[in-house]
Every structure is written in C-alpha cells, then in structure tokens.
Amino acid sequence: MVCVQCGSQTRVVNSRWQKRANQVWRRRQCQDCGAVFTSEESAAYGASWAVKSPSGALKPFSRDKLLLSLHRSLQHRKTALEDAGGLADTVIGRLSGAVTDGTIESRAIISASQVALNRFDKSASVHYAAFH
C-alpha cells in the first residue's frame, strides 16, 4: 500500500483481526516520510460469492443489498443505519460457513438474517419475515 501523504511504499507496523466487522485493521508507516496511518481491509464478497435464487439464477453477493433489506426492517429505530451495518457484518460472518464452491443459497441469507434480527429486535424480525 502507498502512503496517503507522499505516495511512497509503506510497511505494516501492527495488524489485528476484527471479528465483528469481518476485516483486518492495520497500522502502517511510510518508509520515506514516516507518516503513520490506519487501514481497514475486508474481503470483496461480491467478487467471490454468488447467490443462487430459488429459480437457479446466480447473482453476485451484494453487502449493500443485504444492508438495505435489514435497514428497511429497522426503520423504526433511531440508529437504524448503524444497527443495519452491524447486523450485516454479523450475517456475513455467519454465512461464510454456508458457502459451497463460492455459491450460497438465497434462503441461507434470509435465514441467517432472520436469526440475527430475531435476537436483536423482535419487531424488525417480524417485518423482515413479512417481506422475505
């Protein structure tokens, strides 16, 4: 990775796995100017996972689509966007075990989302179930 200030190469000084967010946090230092900054790296699930619909069609996985469907169910909360983001990360973390050959069933996504919502907010879970 290049430095955000001068564009030179950087080295990793510290690195930590963030289980909740399904990403890696890294502290980097520039080899030329000495600037220190943080980067967060996460997997590009859209490029590696395909969602299989009940009709058999395959579409790339979209975290944004998952986030929006969760957000619609959480609209009654003041912190709906933050809650939906956290729940989306939780659902993605649980889905990694359901992926087979890069493909995941849409029912598995719905089921994992339903379980996460049910534990977090019962009324949001009911709303989500009505639309899925």
Asked if residue 4 is part of any domain, the answer here is no
Chain segment 28-74, per-residue pLDDT in tens = 999 999 999 999 888 788 888 999 999 999 999 999 999 999 999 99
- What string of DSSP letters covers the chain? -B-TTT--BEEEEEEEEETTTTEEEEEEEESSS--EEEEEEE--HHHH-EEEPTTS-EEE--HHHHHHHHHHHTTTSTTHHHHHHHHHHHHHHHHGGG-BTTEEEHHHHHHHHHHHHHHH-HHHHHHHHHH-
Domain hosting residue 118, numbered range: 45-131
Q: Examine the domain organization and report whether 70 and 22 are in the same domain.
A: no
The pTM assigned to this predicted structure is: 0.73
Q: Examine the domain organization and report whether 67 and 91 are in the same domain.
A: yes
Q: Examine the domain organization and report whether 30 and 50 are in the same domain.
A: no
Q: Examine the domain organization and report whether 116 and 69 are in the same domain.
A: yes
Name the band, by pLDDT with cuts 50, 70 and 90, for residue 27.
very high
